[in-house]
Amino acid sequence: MAEPVTLITGTRKGIGRHLAEHYLAQGHRVIGCSRQPAELEHAHYQHFTTDVADEPRVKALFASLRKEHGRLDNLINNAGIASMNHSLLTPVETVRRVMETNLTGAFLFAREAAKLMQKAKYGRIVNFTTVAVALNLEGEAAYVASKAAVEALTRVMARELADFGITVNAVGPVPVETDLIRAVPKDKIANLVARQAIKRLGRLEDVTNVVDFFLRRDSGFVTGQVLYLGGV
C-alpha cells in the first residue's frame, strides 16, 4: 500500500509541528500549513502559507494536493487560536477572529478534504477541541464557544460522511506546554489541572496517541466521538 497522505493544519509550532514530525517519522507524506512560513524541512513535507479560513487559498492548497497526490487519507484540523478573557472584556472582533480560525477553518478543511476522500471511500478527519468545553471554563467564553461548535461539527459531519467511509472524531487535550498556554497565568493552569482526574499537564505524546488511534484503519467503526484527555 502507498504511504498515507496526511494533511495537518497549524504545523509551524506546538502540537501541529509535533504531529507533522511524528507522521513523517511513520513514513507519511505530510502537507502542512500555517499563516507564517514554517522551518520544518523534510523530503516528504510540503508547506503552504495560508490562513485556514481563507477560502480561495485553501481551495488552491487542495487543488495542488489533488494534482500531486490524487488522494488524501488523513486530515488533522489542529490549527487554532485562543483568547483568555472575561466575556465582559472581550471585543467582538476577537470573537469573530476566534470563530473564523477555529470553526470556519476546521469546516473549510473538513469539507474540501471530504471531497477528496469520498472518491476513495476512505478517510479520517480529526478535529481539535479542548477540555475547557466540558468544564465550561470561565475566562475563555469565545474560545470555548468556538470549540463547542467544532464538537457539534464533528458529530454532524460524522453522520453525513459515514456512507463515504470517512470518520470524523475530535480530541480534547488538557493544557499542553505550548505557546497557546504560555500566556495563561500559572494559577489558572493549576486550577484547571486540579479539575482533571489525572492531575498533570498534558504531553505531546498523550495527544499523538489519541490521534494515532483515530487514524488507524482499524478505527473505521469509531466516528462522531469526542475524546478528552486527563479524565475530564
Half-sphere exposure in the Cβ direction for 7 (13 Å, CA): 29
Residue found under cell 475530564:
232
* Among 39, 41, 67, 89, interactor with another protein by CB under 8 A: 67
Stretch touching another protein by CB under 8 A, among 28-36, 111-119, 199-207, 215-223: 111-119
* 23 noted as active-site residue: no
Nearer to another protein, 121 or 216 (CB): 121
3-state secondary structure of 78: coil
Residue 213 makes contact with another protein by CB under 8 A = no
The answer to whether the Cα torsion of 151, 153, 156, 157 is positive or negative is negative
Q: Examine residue 159 and tell whether it contacts another protein (CB under 8 A).
A: no
Binding window for another protein (CB under 8 A); candidates: 22-30, 71-79, 112-120, 179-187 = 112-120
Identify the residue among 163, 182, 197, 221 touching another protein (CB under 8 A): 163
Give the single-character DSSP code of 103.
Answer: I
Q: Using the rule CB under 8 A, is 63 a contact of another protein?
A: yes
Q: Give the number of residues in contact with another protein, rule: CB under 8 A.
A: 10
Min. distance of Cβ 123 from another protein in angstroms?
13
Helices 105-120 + 55-69 axis angle, to 10? 30
Which residue do the cell numbers 497565568 mark? Answer: 185
Work out which of 86, 119, 200, 217 binds another protein, going by CB under 8 A: 119
Residue with cell 470555548: 144
Minimum CB distance to another protein smaller for 55 or for 206: 55
Note whether 57 binds another protein by CB under 8 A: no
Phi then psi dihedrals of residue 171, to 5 deg? -110, 135
Q: Which is nearer to another protein, 62 or 128 (CB)?
A: 62
Residue of 86, 115, 159, 200 interacting with another protein (CB under 8 A): 115
Given a contact cutoff of 8 angstroms between Cβ atoms, the answer to whether 13 and 179 are in contact is yes
Phi and psi based region of residue 56 (left: phi greater than 0; alpha: psi -120 to 50; beta: remaining): alpha
- By the rule CB under 8 A, 216 interacts with another protein: no
Q: Does residue number 118 form part of the binding site for another protein (CB under 8 A)?
A: yes
Q: Is the dihedral of CA 173, 186, 99, 35 positive or negative?
A: negative
**Backbone phi and psi for residue 81, each to the nearest 5 degrees, phi listed first:** -125, 155
Active site residues: 143
Residues near another protein (CB under 8 A) are 56, 59, 63, 66-67, 115, 118-119, 163-164
